[in-house]
Amino acid sequence: MTRWQLLLIATIAIYATDGQAKSAASSRSIASERIGRYKSLLTEHFALPRHPYLNEVNWIKARSAIVEEFQKILHNVPNVTMEIQDFQTEISFVPNISTDIKGQNIIVTFSGKNRRKATDEILVIGAHYDSEASPLISIDDNGSGVVAMLEVARGLADAIVNRKAILLNTIMFVAFDIQNEFSDGLGQTGGSDFFVKEKLATILDEQPKPGFLGAIVLDSVMNYNSSTGSQVLPSGFDKSFPEAFSQVQANMYKGNYLAMVTKERLRSLQLDYVIAQEWNKTDTQGQFPLIQLEIRRTAASPALFEFLKQDHVPFWNHNNNPLSAVLLTDTSKWRGIQRMCGLEVCNSTSLLTIDRLNMLDQVVVTLDRFISISHLNDSAAIETGSGTSTYASLSATFLTVLVAYLL
């Protein structure tokens, strides 16, 4: 090999390595920016309890904050709408005593190229923004889910405006009011139920009928705890979810995983598979295991019903025609605040450790990747908090091919 060939190879190697280093640094910077936004939004808008009756002022302020954040995100984004869905329902916070409540769902629709066509595959990403009255759990349940939803919407808007990505299929982001669990056991209706019956059902009945890819419901997605015994399981968990029980047991009952709740024999199996695939691609170190909880009617137990209270259920119960939906959750109260804070008394903002914020980021990046695959025609690179861009990868590939040619 001649000296000029060696020099050329060395130059290209330096160039490719530099490209990869710059891309990795850029990815870390972007991840750091996201983490900063999570912390800011959670601290400013979701650190206080937002019970619709007991904490009405906080509840209304959170609603306004979500609308304002969406308005900032949607600036200059074409083919997007935001609407408020008003509804009236009842909630019960004392046994056998209920009160009337006026709720408002916040619905943002990114209309894809296939909107109003039979080829459209609508995706819903939703999270409830109200909370229980506890000042400790509200930042996770469900401030974390709302912030994740907002950040995914931000990523989509950025792809469309700055990367000129083409949105093929419609995506709806919904901030549900009146979480489904407030309706538990009293036949009352939460915001997700009103959304499915009054808004989504109308869209799905349009002619030509669009397809429905599924709903991804985010409900408490930040409570990371790697301590042995930090995960408590409801009664009958081993019976209803034997595979998941084995995984949690083998992991010494650590609360370091996210659960994905699915339903047997639903099209959500396709949704499950792709989400799990992208989750594992993103979590290259295996820091945040994703454990599937499949709802099976033949395995009823108190544990089973603990995961039939959230906002994915109205999709499953839609007019005898179940819609695909999955729930992503850290199991909420079963990985309770006492276990989040250990023996110390803590306030909600003290829960914002880097591990928990990174778990939240893992959710966001996974859903960003999922959308890129399912709904976008995007020639730009998909970047993750720990990955490198396609550009850097192509540089390395080019170097390999050129070296082989020269040799």
Q: Which residues contact 291 (CB under 8 A, 6 or more apart)?
A: 244, 247, 248, 257, 258, 259, 260
Where residue 234 falls (left for φ over 0; alpha for ψ -120 to 50; beta otherwise) is beta
The count of other CB atoms within 10 Å of the CB of residue 336 is 19
The single-letter code of the amino acid at 12 is I
pLDDT value at residue 392: 41
CA-CA-CA-CA dihedral for 385, 110, 167, 32, to nearest 10: -10
Output the six-digit token pair for 82.
């935001």
Q: Are the CB atoms for 188 and 88 separated by under 8 Å?
A: no
User: What is the rounded CA–CA span in Å between residue 289 and residue 67?
Assistant: 33
Question: Is the sign of the CA dihedral 58, 61, 69, 30 positive or negative?
Answer: negative
Residue with tokens 């990869």: 20
Output the six-digit token pair for 23.
């891309």
Q: Are the CB atoms for 141 and 332 separated by under 8 Å?
A: yes
Read off the pTM.
Answer: 0.86
DSSP string for 134-188: -TTGGGIIIIIHHHHHHHHHHHHHHHHHTS-PEE-S-EEEEEESS-GGGGTTTT-
Per-residue pLDDT in tens (0 to 9) along the chain, 407 residues = 566 555 555 555 555 445 444 444 456 678 899 999 999 999 999 999 999 988 999 999 999 999 999 999 999 999 999 999 999 998 876 666 778 899 999 999 999 999 999 999 999 999 999 998 877 788 999 999 999 999 999 999 999 999 999 999 999 999 999 987 654 444 558 999 999 999 999 999 999 999 999 999 999 999 999 999 999 999 999 999 999 999 999 999 999 999 999 987 665 568 899 999 999 999 999 999 999 999 988 888 999 999 998 999 999 999 878 999 999 999 988 986 544 555 454 567 778 999 999 999 999 999 999 999 989 987 554 444 433 343 344 344 444 444 444 45
Q: Are the CB atoms for 293 and 307 separated by under 8 Å?
A: yes
